[in-house]
Amino acid sequence: MSIDSELATWQKEWREPAAEQRVDQSELLPDLMKKIRRQDRRSAIAVGLTCVCVILGSVAAWRVRTSFLSGLATGLWFASLTMGTYAWWVRRGTWKPAARTTAAYVRLAYNRAVAKERLLKFAFRFILVTTILYAGLMVWTWRHFSMNSAGVLAAMATEIVLFDRLMRKQRRAIEVSRKLLESVGEGAELEFEGRQV
């Protein structure tokens, strides 16, 4: 029985890159799982803090009964319901990975990054429109201008700047996720909920 040395060399070369790739992906999976769990915890904390803020704002408005606190509580309810509904809609399909594989976790991380960017864009536009409307109201009722109104307007302007920076940071996170997805071999068609990105 003769052994073909060239065939044996090809077999060895063919197996080695696959083994190296499996090692890289198996090392990547625990890190991705930690990242996904951390994102899940942050989402739960954000929902909890939002509920606490809405409840405290409502209780304060009910106890003190001033127009400022009533408006603040109404604004908190409206913003929370609007943002919560949109966040739920844009994050559909990003709750858990399709399988317990590196490729599925990479795909989930990418989809979550895209969903977060869309949520940040919506939040940026929402706060921008709200700030313009509130500034218009302040100009319309300039005789009743107070430090509370100026503080609210300053906070809204600060949020606009914050959301702009967060969107830039999120775009970089999407690029990192996209490169990781392509390195795993899942990047042939980068789609999120059926739409090309």
Per-residue pLDDT tens digits for 104-155:
888 898 999 999 999 999 999 999 998 998 888 888 888 877 788 888 889 9
Contacts of 187 by beta carbon, 8 Å cutoff, 6+ apart: 178, 181
Is residue 173 one of the residues assigned to a domain? yes
Which tokens hold the place of 116? 């977060």
For the entire predicted model, the pTM comes to 0.70
CA 152 to chain centre: 25
Which range is most confident: 4-18, 69-83, 162-176?
A: 162-176
pLDDT, mean of residues 167-180: 91
Block residue for tokens 């960017």: 117
- Band (pLDDT 50/70/90 cuts) for residue 12 is low
Phi then psi dihedrals of residue 195, to 5 deg: -110, 135
Whether residue 2 is contained in a domain is answered as no
Residues of the chain above pLDDT 70, percent? 80
Could you list the residue range(s) of the whole structural domain that residue 66 is in?
9-187
In a domain, 117, yes or no: yes
Within 13 Å, how many C-alpha atoms sit on residue 4's CB side? 6
**Structure tokens, 98:** 């399709």
The total domain count for the chain is 1
| 138 close to 167: Cβ distance less than 8 angstroms | no
Q: What is the arithmetic mean of pLDDT over 17-44?
A: 71
**In a domain? residue 51:** yes
Within-domain flag for 61 = yes
Please report whether residue 197 resides in a domain.
no
In whole angstroms, what is the distance from residue 9 CA to residue 30 CA? 33
